[in-house]
Amino acid sequence: MEDRAKISSVIRQHLEAEEFFAGFSLRGQVDAGEFQEQEDDMAAAQRAGELEKLAEEIGQCRKCGLGSSRTNAVPGEGNAGARIMFVGEAPGGDEDAVGRPFVGRAGQLLDKIIAACGLKRGDVYIGNILKCRPPENRDPRADEIVACLPYIQKQIELIQPEIIVALGAHAARTLLDTTKSIGQLRGHFHEYFAGLGQVPVKLMATYHPAFLLRSYSPENRRRVWEDMQKVLTELGLPIPERQN
């Protein structure tokens, strides 16, 4: 009799315990997909915050002579979780005036290239190797590239794009550490190595929009479009049809 009472008491305790933890787990239960989304949102917010801090640092930078001749530093802008990151050479006059990348004529052409890919400017990240304008838009000097390179490296590390599109010879040569011409580099994928222990990022080199404006031949347009089609295919994105 006494044993039966003991067993009933143990069973009751088990049931109460089960009920308690069942209720607890239901209230706290989070769908795995939802949890992943929350984690992604937190990571994106953290990345955006770190990019913002980096932009503030760039705004104060005087590590090379361009820091004293610029009007505004141009850190870069776009989606902190972008799958594609466009990297150009350096800001020009229009960019220097407003502190934003690719806003002049070359920028408008880049916007058209992005739109032709079925994307918006806000879907991608756009930056330059140099964050300050070289006077008269001259080519970047080696010492300026060495001083400024850590900024774009840090931006790539934070954004973790799946593909970098290097616009023009200077960006492609700097990121790939090569002296090859843009003609040799464009049209196929390379790998950007951020350093030991870091996962390499696929890099497509193509013509700089400013070059395309100077040499706006059907052949050059076709080449850039072919390069971008390879990028879209690699990312599993659809290739929009030409509307005309």
Binding residues for ligand SF4 (CB under 6 A): 58, 61-64, 66-67, 73, 130-132, 144, 147-148
Estimate the crossing angle of helix 142-159 against helix 169-176, to 10 degrees.
70
Backbone angles phi, psi at 44, to 5 degrees: -65, -40
Minimum separation from the CB atom of position 136 to ligand SF4 (A): 15
Residue 142, classed as helix, strand or coil, is helix
Minimum separation from the CB atom of position 90 to ligand SF4 (A): 8
Minimum separation from the CB atom of position 126 to ligand SF4 (A): 16
Q: Residue 169, CB half-sphere, CA atoms under 13 Å: how many?
A: 10
Give 116: exposed, middle or buried? Use CB within 10 Å, 0-12, 13-18, 19+: middle
**Which one, 157 or 162, has the nearer CB to ligand SF4?**
157
Report d(CA 206, CA 163) in Å as an integer.
13
**Which one, 126 or 132, has the nearer CB to ligand SF4?**
132
Report d(CA 81, CA 99) in Å as an integer.
21
**Which one, 73 or 182, has the nearer CB to ligand SF4?**
73
Q: Are 111 and 207 in contact (CB under 8 A)?
A: no
**Which one, 136 or 241, has the nearer CB to ligand SF4?**
136
**Which one, 103 or 119, has the nearer CB to ligand SF4?**
103
Minimum separation from the CB atom of position 187 to ligand SF4 (A): 30
